[in-house]
Amino acid sequence: MDAALATRRATVPATAETSVLTLTVAGQLCGVPVLGVRDILGPQAITPIPLAPPEVAGGLNLRGRIVTAVDLRRRLGLPSRDPNASPPMSVVVEGGGELYALLADSVGDVLALPEASLAPNPPTLDPLWREVCAGVHQDVPDSSGGGASRLLIMLDVERILDIG
């Protein structure tokens, strides 16, 4: 390799990417930064917490530690889960030194998305969603293999956990 080619390759900046864990809530593809995810759990027994805000589904036991379960459907103002649907999955995240389980309909893949493709929230996005979203990625490949692409809404975990 000649020196000029080596120099050009060294000066081309690498594309910065963010690893995102995808999850689905009421059919909407969402994402959270994978570095903030502590665990992913299948269906869990959730114990109601008296006098908790409506977004708090209850508490669950994670290896002897009580974790507050936040129902993303309620938090995002979406209809309740169909009682005949499969139970929610839990994405365990940390906020303020505590663990929380974000209840999602399903958990998908980890995707490496270019940071440059994160667009600001569209002005037509529901105000409640705008409050808890960090932006959107357009044209995210559909993991079902159909060749289509979808809109992925990046959730701001800190704002999701700001309940009250």
d(CA 71, CA 88): 9
Check residue 7 and give its pLDDT: 43
Q: Decide: 106 and 89 in contact? Cβ < 8 Å.
A: yes
pLDDT value at position 9? Answer: 44
At 8 the pLDDT is 42
CA–CA distance, 157 with 142 (Å, rounded to integer): 23
Sorted by where each starts, the structural domains of the chain and their CATH numbers stand as 26-160 (2.40.50.180)
Contact 29, 150 (CB under 8 A): yes
pLDDT tens readout for residues 131-148: 999 999 987 876 655 556
In tens digits, what is the pLDDT along the chain, a chain of 164 residues?
444 444 444 444 556 888 999 999 999 999 999 999 999 999 999 999 999 999 999 999 999 999 999 999 999 999 999 988 899 999 999 988 899 999 999 999 999 999 999 999 999 989 999 999 999 998 787 665 555 678 999 999 999 999 86
